[in-house]
Amino acid sequence: MAQVTLKNVAKVYDKKIRAVEDVNIQITDGEFLVFVGPSGCGKSTTLRMIAGLEEISEGTISIGDHVVNDVHPKDRDIAMVFQNYALYPHMTVYKNMAFGLMLRKLPREKIDKLVRDAAKLLDIAHLLDRKPKALSGGQRQRVALGRAIVREPAVFLFDEPLSNLDAKLRATTRTELKKLHARLKTTTIYVTHDQIEAMTLGDRIVVMSDGRVQQIDTPLNVYKRPANRFVGAFVGATPMNFLEGILESADGRFFFVAGETARIALPAEFSSALADHIGNTLSLGFRPSAMREASPADPQDERITLRTILVEPLGKNADVSCEFPDGTHVLARIDAREDFPVNADVQFTLEMKHVHIFEPGEFGANLVHPPADILAPAAV
Amino acid sequence: MPNPPTPTRVKPSTLAKTLGRAVIVALLVLLALTFIFPFVWQILISLSALTDVDLLTQTGFPPALQPENFITIFQRVDLARYFFNSFFIAGWVTILQVITCSMAAYAFSRIQWPGRDKVFLLYLATLMVPAVVLMVPNFVVVLKLGMFDDYSGLILPSAFSAYGTFLLRQFMLTVPSSLDEAAAIDGASHWRIFTTIMLPLARPGIIVMAIFAFLFNYNSFFWPLIITKTANLRVLPVGLLQFESSYGQETPLIMAGSLLAMLPPIIIFLVLQKYLVKGIQLGAVKG
């Protein structure tokens, strides 16, 4: 068990390509931390630096109390599960799991006990004599997991371990991973590009893009209070809708004006946060689930009118693809009903407490629902 | 309602197919015969009397078979010794090349070191230098090192092979790097990764490399010819040269000897041909 600390960590390739920039994270003992981001965002590189498979160009990484920058992977007390499992094809499952223990010169009986215990825990005891070729994808995944836990390391590192499994197996394995972590309570660092995996598994999530950390927070906070437009767009089962427009004020109220297409009244709670941005170009972001069909009781200036293109029923809900007159695409998640009009102009209401306003640009900061630690720096 | 079957429409195309096949098979047989012909000719000569060799071109078959040729060659020259030398030298070269090439290939494919790929290109460039050009400098070096007319002079210059290194490097590149990373995290050193992970996984490549190395050195003629003078050190191709003199050559005996010399490579090929085919595909198909 150990805590892991990354201080100003950066990775520079060929003296010019900065793949990872200024990463600062404190991972507490026993925590399940998930790095998530699109491919090429630097999450795997960061993990490989923690593992010792990539050199750390700048900054320091500590595991426990020791700075491990110059420590060989085998001496970092870590175990890693690779995306392709990296099982030794010419060894049996037993040997695969025992290999690391044999290299550490543990007594034979001890190795045998550790391997068999781990195999039992993962329900692969009946596969010990097989070679990886004779295993299914899910079984190989378990063996890779077994090879990691048998060593009883201080830190587990996972590099997209579920991405080679089919959807159903991925979901069940995800649950098992979570159970396993609850049982072993080993500090775990997990890398994925799948934001659902990140949401479901992580105690905390690190959202990365362009080699930089965009936000570190609990899954719910990342979802509800995305630090910037990128996080809002990346996290969540359906992507956030965005409208570009200008902030205007009239009669003491704020309006978000997106050209001719919409003029949306903003609630009074936003006023203090937006006071300095009047006349500026901003983006309005809202999740499909923050939309509902307008009812007569809704105030007119919180409604938007959209042309419906396509309805995809999901069961309880339905996803409606819509367009503003200028062609801007919007996805709405509404309560499903049979007779929902398609190719018609429909009025929707935005639930203002779930609406975000971002500064311009891909990484524009969230002005109205910033992450808690930015709102109240004194509390840290 | 199901459609009635229409067998008549299938027929012409199957006929064309069969015809096409027949033409292809005929061509292939012709090609195969062309390849086999020299060997048949060789066997016929090896069974002829020296005086009948010229007749063969007219009759196509020796008037009298003379299988004693195969005994004569053993009586006239120390063929057993030449066989031993050929095997001994080619065997040692193969063993040494497997060791040096696999280690070099590991270093060129799995270890990061400054200038690695440039050095590798330089190494590969030596393949472009014709062996004949190197003959004299190699000879001088071997002479100075006191290895002239000695097994060491026959074996050591061939102990390294750029071609074998290249072949094995390409093979090792197909082994996923996550395997050695996993092993490194498991606590393995480079030496351990090389011996317990890479060598077993590269086995098909190593076998191919070994076969190539053995066959190439088993056939080598010119280098053994210039680097030895003692009769005891002669290899098969050099030894058979004794049947050739300024008074003419004893073709049947040469053919009988080379026929026997051909047997080991043929046997090796038959036994290990599945690996050889794999080796030729190396690099073409990843995975």
Dump the DSSP string for A203-219: SEEEEEETTEEEEEE-H
Q: What CATH number should be reported for the domain holding residue A344?
A: 2.40.50.140
A211 phi and psi angles, rounded to 5 deg: 80, 0
Pairing of strands A291-293, A303-313: unpaired
- With cut-offs at 50, 70 and 90, classify the pLDDT of residue A214: very high
Q: Are B210 and B94 in contact (CB under 8 A)?
A: yes
Q: Chain A contact for B184, CB < 8 A?
A: yes
Please tell me what DSSP assigns to residue A361. S
Say yes or no to pLDDT of B282 above 60: no
The pLDDT tens digits for A242-296 are 999 999 988 888 999 987 778 888 988 888 888 889 889 999 999 999 998 888 8
The pLDDT tens digits for B30-83 are 999 999 999 999 999 999 988 888 888 888 888 888 999 999 999 999 999 999
- With cut-offs at 50, 70 and 90, classify the pLDDT of residue A87: very high
Please tell me what DSSP assigns to residue A316. S
The whole domain housing A293 covers 239-379
Q: Are A48 and A54 in contact (CB under 8 A)?
A: yes
Question: Last residue of a domain, which of A174, A201, A233?
Answer: A233
**Residue A147 has what pLDDT?**
94
* Beta bridge partner(s), residue A184: none
Question: Last residue of a domain, which of A233, A263, A280?
Answer: A233
Residues A36 and A141 in one domain: yes
Q: Cβ of A88 and B179 within 8 Å? A: yes
- With cut-offs at 50, 70 and 90, classify the pLDDT of residue B286: very low
Residues A216 and A243 in one domain: no
**Residue B160 has what pLDDT?**
92
Q: Are A284 and A258 in contact (CB under 8 A)?
A: yes
Q: Cβ of A90 and B200 within 8 Å? A: yes
- With cut-offs at 50, 70 and 90, classify the pLDDT of residue B131: confident
- Rounded Cα gap, residues A352 and B125, in angstroms: 70
- Rounded Cα gap, residues A126 and B255, in angstroms: 61
Residues A243 and A170 in one domain: no
Give the domain B77-281 fold. MetI-like fold (1.10.3720)
Please tell me what DSSP assigns to residue A136. -
Residues A211 and A313 in one domain: no
* A165 or B31, greater pLDDT: B31
Q: Are A68 and B180 in contact (CB under 8 A)?
A: no
The average confidence (pLDDT) of chain A is 90
Q: Which of helix, strand or coil describes residue A343?
A: coil
Say yes or no to pLDDT of A172 above 80: yes
- With cut-offs at 50, 70 and 90, classify the pLDDT of residue B245: confident
- Rounded Cα gap, residues A217 and B149, in angstroms: 77
User: What number of helices (H) and strands (E) belong to chain A?
Assistant: 10, 20
Residues A229 and A243 in one domain: no
**Residue A379 has what pLDDT?**
34
Angle of helix B251-281 relative to helix B203-218, nearest 10 degrees, comes to: 160
Cα dihedral: A158, A114, A110, B180 (round 10): -30
Average of pLDDT values for B81-99?
96
Name the minimum distance, in Å, from the CA of B143 to any CA of chain A. 46
Compute the C-alpha angle B6/B19/B7, nearest 5°.
5
Average of pLDDT values for A213-235?
93
Compute the C-alpha angle A181/A183/A189, nearest 5°.
20
- Rounded Cα gap, residues A237 and A164, in angstroms: 20
Q: Which of helix, strand or coil describes residue A215?
A: strand
Kindly give the residue spans of alpha helices, DSSP state H, lying in B126-176: 131-144, 151-155, 162-173
Name the minimum distance, in Å, from the CA of B180 to any CA of chain A. 8
Residues A77 and A214 in one domain: yes
Say yes or no to pLDDT of A113 above 90: yes
Say yes or no to pLDDT of A239 above 50: yes
- Rounded Cα gap, residues B35 and B22, in angstroms: 20
> For chain A, which residues lie within 8 Å of any Cβ of chain B, measuring from their own Cβ?
51-53, 72-74, 78-80, 82-84, 86, 88-90, 99-100, 103-104, 147, 151
* B8 or B116, greater pLDDT: B116
C-alpha dist (Å) from residue B50 to B26, B37, B45, B64, B74: 36, 20, 9, 11, 17
- With cut-offs at 50, 70 and 90, classify the pLDDT of residue B278: low
Q: Are A230 and A363 in contact (CB under 8 A)?
A: yes
Residue A80 is nearest to which of B176, B182, B187, comparing CB atoms?
B182
On whether ipTM exceeds 0.95, the answer is no
Q: Chain A contact for B201, CB < 8 A?
A: yes
**Residue B11 has what pLDDT?**
63
Residues A192 and A224 in one domain: yes
Residues A165 and A258 in one domain: no
Q: Are A1 and A30 in contact (CB under 8 A)?
A: yes
Q: Cβ of B185 and A51 within 8 Å? A: yes
Residue of chain B nearest A147, judged by CA positions: B186
**Residue A378 has what pLDDT?**
37
Q: What CATH number should be reported for the domain holding residue A124?
A: 3.40.50.300
Q: Chain A contact for B95, CB < 8 A?
A: no
Residues A355 and A212 in one domain: no
- Greatest Cα pair distance, chain B, in angstroms, is 92
Q: Cβ of B184 and A53 within 8 Å? A: yes
Q: Where are the beta strands (DSSP E) in B112-268?
A: 244-245, 248-249
- Rounded Cα gap, residues A104 and A101, in angstroms: 5
Say yes or no to pLDDT of A127 above 50: yes
Question: Last residue of a domain, which of A173, A206, A233?
Answer: A233
Q: Are B45 and B255 in contact (CB under 8 A)?
A: yes
- Rounded Cα gap, residues A154 and A186, in angstroms: 6
Tell me the chain A residues in contact with residue B197 when contact means C-beta distances shorter than 8 Å: 88
The pLDDT tens digits for B249-273 are 899 999 999 999 999 988 988 888 8
Say yes or no to pLDDT of B218 above 70: yes
Q: Are A214 and A208 in contact (CB under 8 A)?
A: yes
**Residue B268 has what pLDDT?**
87
The average confidence (pLDDT) of chain B is 88
Tell me the chain B residues in contact with residue A90 when contact means C-beta distances shorter than 8 Å: 200-201
Those of residues 136-165 in B touching chain A at CB distance below 8 A are none
Considering its fold, how many domains does chain A have in total?
Answer: 2
- With cut-offs at 50, 70 and 90, classify the pLDDT of residue B284: very low
B285 phi and psi angles, rounded to 5 deg: -115, 125
